[in-house]
């Protein structure tokens, strides 16, 4: 069930549709699942935003004033609760107020990094990388053919040199070593890139899992305060 929730959250966070995110944020604020953000829920959500400075002002009075202010701008029919339609209209009027009662959605920078990593892990991306590898292999095969031709020429030259009393294959040995070093560097670079991608993917997964746990804890705390 946790995996299903994780996938669902990823789809919501990655969705380009504002209505999808509004529905999700509203469902988090409406932790009683009544279809309305009630006064008790608003009180529990806004209580954490009140900072008591020790002055003469009563924090309860400050909280009451804040609740009245929020209801005045969000509760269109003045029935004391905020419906989904009222919340949607309010957010579309000012999108910055989508997280009016507290942070629910992840940071945009985290989403961008996660999106890039997801694109790297997509099958078509893997296929493209495989095609590139095939192209590299084809190039290597061509190089091998060229090297074979060169080796044949070198053998002919060596035969000629032998006929003339000379010989030697040091040049052929050096080229083989260079080619081997080049292939080793390619493999090492590819392995390093794969390891880096896997590490970044794991970090992103851990970050999102931590965010899910924090949201669940926040909802549990709000429920306790409401009741």
**Residue pLDDT, tens place only, 4-37:** 777 788 888 888 899 999 999 999 999 899 999 9
Residue 77 clears pLDDT 50, i.e. is over it:
yes
The angle at the Cα of 136, spanning 134 to 139, to the nearest 5 degrees, equals 110
Domain ranges of the chain: 2-104, 118-204
Q: What is the pLDDT of residue 137?
A: 52
**Residue pLDDT, tens place only, 24-76:** 999 999 989 999 999 999 999 988 877 766 666 677 888 888 999 999 999 99
Is there a contact between 37 and 26 (Cβ–Cβ < 8 Å)?
A: yes
Note the pTM of the prediction, 2 decimals: 0.54
Q: Which residue, among 26, 40, 33, has the nearest Cα to 227 in the 3D structure?
A: 40
Res. 127 pLDDT band, cuts 50 70 90: very low
**Residue pLDDT, tens place only, 139-163:** 555 555 555 555 555 554 444 444 4
Q: What is the DSSP string of 124-163?
A: HHHHHHHHHHHHHHHHHHHHHHHHHHHHHHHHHHHHHHHH
Q: What is the pLDDT of residue 71?
A: 92
d(CA 165, CA 146): 28
Domain 2-104 class, CATH top level: mainly alpha
């Amino acid at each position: 069930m946790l995996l299903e929730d994780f996938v669902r959250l990823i789809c919501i966070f990655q969705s380009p549709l504002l209505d999808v995110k509004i529905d999700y944020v509203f469902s988090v604020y409406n932790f009683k699942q009544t279809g309305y953000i009630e006064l008790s829920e608003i009180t529990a959500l806004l209580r954490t935003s009140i900072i008591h400075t020790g002055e003469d002002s009563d924090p309860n009075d400050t909280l009451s004033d804040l609740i009245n202010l929020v209801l005045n701008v969000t509760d269109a029919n003045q029935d004391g609760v905020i419906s989904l339609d009222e919340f949607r209209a309010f957010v579309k009027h000012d999108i910055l107020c989508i997280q009016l009662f507290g942070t629910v959605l992840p940071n945009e920078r985290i989403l961008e990094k996660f999106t890039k990593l997801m694109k790297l892990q997509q099958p078509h991306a893997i296929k493209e990388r495989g095609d590139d590898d095939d192209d590299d292999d084809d190039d290597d095969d061509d190089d091998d053919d060229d090297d074979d031709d060169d080796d044949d020429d070198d053998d002919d030259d060596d035969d000629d040199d032998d006929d003339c009393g000379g010989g030697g294959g040091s040049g052929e040995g050096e080229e083989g070593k260079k080619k081997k070093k080049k292939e080793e560097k390619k493999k090492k670079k590819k392995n390093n890139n794969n390891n880096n991608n896997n590490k970044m993917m794991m970090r992103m997964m851990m970050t999102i899992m931590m965010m899910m746990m924090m949201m669940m804890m926040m909802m549990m705390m709000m429920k306790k305060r409401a009741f």
